[in-house]
Structure 1
């Protein structure tokens, strides 16, 4: 399997270079379990979801802790048929396809309850795309039902769902949506925006 994210960080401050470079240092603790490549547009992070999402959480939290208005934009994908399998992406975090939807929802809720807080607020919106034929709408509606019980659900919006809360549970919710819904051998993508310190909320 291949799993990863293309991530861009946008600080709305004159000191944006320092915010970006200092925030990328948050990935250092994860580099032995991920493949990380940064260029002038984005940072590619490749690895198993149980490592990928905590790394994204820490990157976001480091940037948000500066107090600047920052936005993290990411496109995440797993199981893309156009990408080669990568041993670094081996994982046991994806749902068993034979497990009923209700059981997967309960497992996802337990994972959020067990996750630590980060002490940093996060406002996020995302869309889950389950590719291919089959019961993809059943999976998406099952995910939405899980989100409404997650404790991080804020509201449904056109084309996406909004989450809010501490960065720990918010990113744990995103991880569970990515891992528990959609076939483990299928192609699943997420379009994600996370914002911190927006002046429009003051």
Structure 2
């Protein structure tokens, strides 16, 4: 099943090029397991979720460690019927029979609890879109229930949910949302914005 993300990172500084270029080395440990394509708008990362999300997390954390206000925006997708299967996307994170929703919630919670600590406080908002299923609202409500128990839940907002906490837990929460909710072989997408070092918080 094809999975990937179109990502853009925005450091709020005159030296935005230096911050971005300096952070790119964070992708090096993942490059042999990802397809990476960059143009003047975004960078496409194609790969399995257990590679994709840590790569996005580490890129974001590396940029945010500059101390500048940094924002990452990502459009994330799995199972899009318009994209071909690719071996680099092979994963055991989804696929197979549909597990009961309560079991999937518990698996999602365990994933967040075992997330690595990055020592980078972050805030995020995201929206989950479950395609091609008549029970999409059951899946979305199940995801919301998971989010409320995740330890990263901040609050519900119009059209999205706000998260907060260590970047490791935040990215693990979003990864669990993509992998555990919606049909195992279905099309699921996420719109994600993550922020660190915002002057608004100060």
Task: Give the CA RMSD over aligned residues.
Answer: 0.9
Give the whole-Å Cα distance in 1 for the aligned partners of 2:98 and 2:11: 43
Task: Quote how far apart the aligned CAs of 1:96 are.
Answer: 4.8
Query: What is the distance in 1 between the residues matched to 2:98 and 2:45?
Result: 29
Supply the distance in 1 between the matched residues of 2:78 and 2:151 (Cα, whole angstroms).
Answer: 25
Q: Distance in 2 between matches of 1:73 and 1:129?
A: 16
Please give the residue correspondences for 1:22-101 in structure 2 after superposition, counting only pairs within 5 Å.
Answer: 22-94=22-94, 96-101=96-101
Contact kept? 1:127, 1:160, Cα under 8 Å: yes
- SS for the counterpart of 2:62 is helix
Deviations 1:5-27 (A, max 9, x none): 00001111000000111112211
1:201 partner SS: coil
Q: Distance in 1 between matches of 2:36 and 2:193?
A: 20
> Aligned partners of 1:109 and 1:195: how far apart in 2?
22
1:37 Cα deviation (Å)? Answer: 1.1
- After superposition, the C-alpha distances for 1:41-94 in whole angstroms (9 at most, x for unaligned) are 111000000110010100110011000111100000000001111111010011
In 1, Cα distance between equivalents of 2:98 and 2:44: 32
Could you list the structure 1 runs, at least 4 aligned residues long, displaced by more than 2 angstroms after superposition: 95-98
- Aligned partners of 2:2 and 2:133: how far apart in 1? 20
CA distance in 2, matches of 1:140, 1:84: 26
Q: Which runs of 5+ in 2 are unaligned?
A: none
Unaligned runs of 5+ in 1: none
Cα gap change, 1:95 to 1:185, in 2 (>3 Å): closer
Equivalent residue pairs, number: 202
For 1:1-202, list aligned pairs within 5 A.
1-94=1-94, 96-202=96-202
Task: Answer yes or no: is the 8 Å Cα contact 1:97–1:183 preserved in 2.
Answer: no
Write the distance in 1 (CA, Å) between the matches of 2:201 and 2:41.
Answer: 28
Aligned-pair distance for 1:134? 1.7
Cα displacement (A) at 1:98: 2.7
Offset at 1:95?
6.0
